[in-house]
Structure formats: C-alpha cells, structure tokens
A and B are shown apart, each in its own frame.
Chain A
Amino acid sequence: MKSLLSYTALVAGLSTLSPAFAQTEVQFWHAMAGEMGQRVEKLASDFNASQKDFKVVAVYKGTYPEVMTGAIAAFRAKQPPHIVQVFEVGTATMMSAKGAIYPVHELMKEQSAPFDATAYLPAVSGYYSDVKGNMLSFPFNSSTPILYYNKDLFKKAGLDPEAAPKTFADLEAYAKKLQAAGVPCGFTTEWPSYMQFENFSAYHNQPISTKENGLAGLDAELKLNGPVQVKHLQNLVDWQKTKVFDYGGRGDSSKPKFFSGECAMTVSSAAARLGIVTNMKAEVGMALLPYYADVQGAPQNSIIGGASLWVLRGQKPADYKGVAQFFAYLSKPEVQAWWHQETGYLPITTASYELSRSQGFYDRNPGTDVAVKEINLNPPTENSKGLRLGNFVQIRAVIEEEIENALQGKKTPQQALDAAVTRGNELLRQFQKSNS
C-alpha cells in the first residue's frame, strides 16, 4: 500500500513537472460530448497556435448539470476553472452569484480586449445581459427548435415535399394524410417543456412568466397556464389518442421515432441537423415552427437554448487577460462562421451570418438558415426576448411531470398547467429567498 502510494505520488510529481515553460494556462470546462467536443478542442488549439502567452485547455467535465456542479464545487474548493460552459437553465443561478462571476463586459473592459456587444444578434445578447444591457456571459452555442419533416414519407402520402405545414391546422391535416398512407404517427417533439411550452409561448407572444420571463427580476411569477397554452395542451392530449402527435419522452429520447420513420415530423434542435441528415436514409426538410393562426401576434420569434461561457473569479489576476483574448478570438467572424457551419449552432453575430452567406453555405446546405430566420422573425417583445428563472432545472421537471399527467388523462390540461404554475412559483420564491 505504502509503496503504491509513493509510486503514484512520484507519477503525479513527474506529470506536474513537464509543462514548465512560460505559458499561462486557462482552464475551460465544457459539456460538449462526442464529436462536438473535438470541435471545441480545435477552437482552443487554434487559439493557442495564434499567440504565445496563453494556453487554453478545454476539458470535458460531463453533462451540463455535471459541468456546472463540478465548477461550483471547484469554486468552493478555491480552485475554479477560468471559463465554464453553463446551459441556459443555469443562467439565473450564475447571474445571482455576484462575487463568484466575472461579468464579461467588465472583463473585456478591464483587460482592454476588443469587444462589441452589439455585434451579437439581439435574440442572443438579450438572453445573457442584465437589465442595463451589460453582457454577463459570453454567448457560445445557441440553438432553437425547428420543424423537421421526412420528405420521402410526404411523397408517399401525396404531399408536396417542398411545402412544410405552416400552422397547427396544416400540421394536423398533413398528419392525418400521412396516417392514411400508413405512417403510424404524425409528429413528435423533443424537450417537451422547452419546445412545446417555453418556446411555444414566446412564438405566440404569450408570457412564460411575469417580469419579462424573469429577465427583469427575481420576483417573476409563472404564467404558463394561459388560454393559449391550455388549448395547445388540450390539442396534444387529443392528438395523442390518434397518434397525430406521439409523445416520446423528455430530453431528446424521442429521436428514434423520427429516425425510424415512425413519425413523419418532429420538433428538434436546429443543431441536431447534422446528425439527422447524415444518419437518415430518407430526405429531410427543415421549416419554421408551426403556430396557431388565430392567436394574435403569432408567429412572433423563437427563443434560444444552448449554453454560454461564464468566467469565474478566484484565479490569478494575470490569467484573465488570457480569457479576454480567447473571447476576442472567438468573436471573430471567421471563427464564429466556422463554429456555426461545423456544429449547426446558430451564427450568433451578424457578421458570421453574413460571412456564411457570402461563402455560399446556405445555398449548399438548404435549411440551415431556417433557425436564423426564426429567431429574427420579428423584433423580440418582452415575451420573446428570452427566459431566465431561478431553480429552473426543477421547474422544467415540474412542467414536464404535469404535461405527462395531462397526456395520461390523470389531470385535465387546465388542472395540469395550474399545478405546474403553483409548484413552479414555490420554487421561484425559494430561489428568490436564497439569492437576495
């Protein structure tokens, strides 16, 4: 035992000796598994090759919740990473941790790095800024839900493969035609709360909560039980009975339904495009989300999901210059455009969108610009700027529990959404108390 310990101590000692030249290391913890992770690492290594003073080390630390919890544990142990990638539902928690985070606008100013917050699309920068418009975290991988449809099945059902359904009425009619042609199910969805209720509300210009969906203060209250949302849930419940809609579970667990051709349409992240196109034998079309034509203001614009980069305090002051330089590097249009084209995430600066267009990317890859059009459909209202609520991991779980209760017939849609609002508001008050 003793010799084993001393041996491992020796190994550990040796490994800390080797990289002993004058570069400053910047730790960047992320949640990008699979091949996305390799792209993140390429961003870091390209940056490292572009200058000599800093070395960004990109480290995969698990799923989004695991990365966030890991970074917080490291902060509490006084060994925080410089940069941590946090998913959108964690934004409120990060933002409330005043002394722990180094707001990006301050960082860029104090380290005198070139940075122009207005270069970012308003639908993106609004999400990560405080009430005064100061950007607190650095937008990184943003996505938004869009409609995917199986063109081969459309042809089989005698539908025009180039004409996607625009409204929910179209969607229902198409689904019935597809079913008549032998397709078992019309459409399904991923991330039920995020796509069918949060985004759905924004897209129909309905509030998710008061206080501009939480962007304007911690005292927000949920509003998800409005008539438009209740009607939508009622429709989903009715459609479930005939499989016009078929529920496939939380997260992205419904994916096989679309991949296998069981469902002809699905609502999924714009960033899922590459995986869908490369792994499906059928031809796939992409289109804007469907909406209810009778709701005034619809379609408004969709809101983003994904993650942003937060800077944590507690490291050596000199290191933060490296963080600022890395962010400046990431803001370059050509870097942004590369990231957007390689991953399918949104082009988050106007310049990178223009660059991708002039490079002919959207012409070569039809459908890739749907998501950009969708988030820019109209100037955002207070219902569609974004969403920032505390304890949102739990709240989202509560919403999905209640949706499932309604789909199983255990509660009426109104009862289910009322319960989601009551339970969610309790969680919001709890968060407000621990963070004020």
Chain B
Amino acid sequence: MRGKRVTFPGMAVPAILLAPQLAVTFVFFVWPAIQSLRSALFRQDAFGMSEEFVFLDNFIKLFAEPDYGQAFGLTLFFALATTVLSMGLALLFAVLADGVVKGAAIYKSLLTWPYAVAPAIAGVLWWFLFNPTIGIFSRALAAIGIDWNHHLNSGQALALVIIASAWKQLSYNFLFFLAGLQTIPKSLLEAAALDGADGFVRFRKIVLPLLMPTTFFLIVTNLVYAFCDTFAVIHATTGGGPGTATTTLIFKIYRDGFESLDLGGSAAQSVILMLLVGTLTIIQFRYIERNIHY
C-alpha cells in the first residue's frame, strides 16, 4: 500500500491520529472477532459453562452435510443473479436519466430514495407485495394465469429473494453509475456523434470502458452485499424455504448461530464466508490501487 511522496515527519502525530480508530477497532472488533472465530475450534454449550477443544470437527461436520455444498452453490447463484439484476437495471436507469432533459431531477430523486429503507423494513414490504393471497404482485400474476406461491415453489421463492435483494441495492448502484456518467466529458460523446457513431455504439465504445472502474467496484460491493447483508430480507420473506431453496450461507449462519445457539458450527461457517469475502475485498483493493493514477 502506497503513501504520499511528500510526507510529514514524526511518529507521535500519526500515533495520535490512529489511536481512536485503532482503539475502537481493537476493542469492539478485533477482540470479539477473535473470540467468535476461536469458537470454531470448540464445542460449547450455549451458556458457555463448558467447552471442549474439537479442532477441525466443526468444519468436517459441515462439509459432510450434503446441504452445505448445496447452500454454497445456491449462494453463488443468488449473489450473481442479484448483482446482475441490480446493476443491469441501475445502469439502464442511470444512462436513461442522464440522457433525458425534462424530469431528470425527479427521476433521479425517486430512484435514489429507496436507499433509505432499512433492511428490516424492506423484508416486511416485500412480504406484503408477494404474499400469495393478498400481495399486489401475486394478484397481478394470478390475473395473467401464474399461480404464485413462493412457499411451495422453489423457483418463485428464489426469484422473490433475488428481486427483493436487488431492489434494496439498486439505488446505491444507480447513484454510483450516475456519478460515473457525469465524469465522462460531454465533448467526447459529441465528437463521436459527429463522427456518425449512433447511440449504442457510443455507449459501447466510450461510456462502458470509462465506467469500468465504477462497474468493477460495484460488482465486488454487490457480491459482498449479497453474501453478507441479505439475511434480513430472506428472513422476512421466505425464511430459507421451501425446502432449502433460499437458505444461503449468511442465512444459515444466522439461523444456526443466533437462533439455534450452535456457536461452534456457526463460527466454522463464518470462517469460510470470511475467506470468501476477504478474497473478494482484497481483489477489489488491489484493482483500485492499480487503476487509480496519481
């Protein structure tokens, strides 16, 4: 990791500057994280009255479960689908909103503010919209002959959690794409238009390459979001079912650890998720480092 070429001398000042961040990180993050990761190697009762070192037992048990491999594959699919849907629509809306003159401000603010909805509330809203009996969407679907019951139909359940999760993240992506688009010099596009390139060619040849850094950043952010921050939505809409059709890794961690108090098993799952997310974050960071020219 690089620093500045021109720097300030001294040790005391940076130490003071870093102290608050490091103190908070150590006390409220590193220490508790070590505690919970440590429990991946133990078998413990919920109250912490007794524990037994079991080494890698928790991991072995995990991989012996046929469901775990399935949850892994499901999570990858879910994360990819959520990312593609959310980013694709966000890019489309951003390009369109950037291109129109009338009403642009209204579109922009209306597309932005679902960002403010809390995950805990988003789950409740989607529960309402797709409720097989009273939901507005399921009634609309029934009108065109689709019998919607995500409690019974795995495909529909998966579609529901993907749509709801993508919705929650769409505003965020939209903002980033919009900001990215606004850094593209208009003169460049006008020059291309004069050369006879039509809208789609301009988009593919100029806009898309210039948006690449944004896109890359968002891909990683969205994947991490789908891996880590979607349990509230799944919890409120499908509860992981039907069967295990929507039991993703983070949902399983939450259910096994927080609800069932299987601390060892849930910690082992966390370690694996952490490796996954950590790898993604490091890739992202490396990429940002390489692509920003100072």
Q: Is B46 an interface residue, CB under 8 A from the partner? A: yes
Given the known inter-chain contacts A256-B134, A405-B243, A433-B43, please indicate yes or no for A100 contacting B49, CB distance below 8 A. Answer: yes
Q: Is A96 an interface residue, CB under 8 A from the partner? A: yes
Q: Is A262 an interface residue, CB under 8 A from the partner? A: yes
Interface size class of A (residues with CB under 8 A): 35 or more
Tell me which of B61, B242, B258 has the highest count of chain A C-beta atoms within 10 A of its own C-beta: B242
In the assembled complex, the Cα of A76 lies from the Cα of B50 at a distance in Å of 12
A36 / chain B contacts, CB cutoff of 8 Å: none
Given contacts A97-B47, A256-B134, A434-B264, 12 further A-B contacts (CB under 8 A): A69-B259, A72-B47, A76-B48, A93-B45, A93-B261, A240-B152, A253-B151, A253-B239, A393-B255, A401-B243, A401-B244, A433-B43
**Chain A 363-405 against B: per-residue CB contact (8 Å), 1 yes, 0 no?**
0000000000000000000000000000101100100111011
A65 / chain B contacts, CB cutoff of 8 Å: 258-259
Least Cβ distance of B54 to chain A in Å?
9
Instruction: Contact check, B43 vs A75: say whether CB atoms are below 8 A apart.
Output: no
A52 / chain B contacts, CB cutoff of 8 Å: none
Least Cβ distance of A185 to chain B in Å?
10
Instruction: Contact check, A72 vs B261: say whether CB atoms are below 8 A apart.
Output: yes
Q: Is A260 an interface residue, CB under 8 A from the partner? A: yes
Instruction: Contact check, B132 vs A248: say whether CB atoms are below 8 A apart.
Output: yes
Pull 29 A–B residue pairs with CB atoms less than 8 Å apart, ordered by A: A1-B20, A69-B261, A93-B46, A97-B45, A97-B46, A98-B49, A99-B49, A247-B149, A249-B151, A249-B239, A251-B239, A253-B151, A253-B239, A254-B151, A257-B132, A393-B255, A394-B255, A394-B262, A400-B241, A401-B244, A401-B247, A404-B152, A405-B243, A408-B152, A408-B153, A408-B154, A408-B242, A408-B243, A434-B264
Could you say which of B127, B149, B255, B261 contacts A397, with CB atoms under 8 Å apart? B255
Q: A residues bordering B, Cβ < 8 Å? A: 1, 65, 68-69, 72, 75-76, 93, 96-100, 240, 246-251, 253-254, 256-257, 260, 262, 391, 393-394, 397, 400-402, 404-405, 407-408, 410, 430, 433-435
Instruction: Contact check, B241 vs A434: say whether CB atoms are below 8 A apart.
Output: no
Could you say which of A250, A256, A407, A433 contacts B239, with CB atoms under 8 Å apart? A250
Interface size class of B (residues with CB under 8 A): 35 or more
Instruction: Contact check, B133 vs A262: say whether CB atoms are below 8 A apart.
Output: yes
Closest 9 CB pairs of A and B: A249-B151, A404-B242, A65-B259, A256-B133, A393-B260, A97-B47, A100-B47, A405-B243, A256-B134
Q: Is B44 an interface residue, CB under 8 A from the partner? A: yes
Instruction: Contact check, A69 vs B132: say whether CB atoms are below 8 A apart.
Output: no
B151 / chain A contacts, CB cutoff of 8 Å: 247-250, 253-254, 404
**Chain B 260-273 against A: per-residue CB contact (8 Å), 1 yes, 0 no?**
11101100000000
Q: Is B123 an interface residue, CB under 8 A from the partner? A: no
In the assembled complex, the Cα of A112 lies from the Cα of B20 at a distance in Å of 53
Given the known inter-chain contacts A407-B152, A435-B45, please indicate yes or no for A401 contacting B239, CB distance below 8 A. Answer: no
Instruction: Contact check, B47 vs A76: say whether CB atoms are below 8 A apart.
Output: yes
In the assembled complex, the Cα of A247 lies from the Cα of B242 at a distance in Å of 11
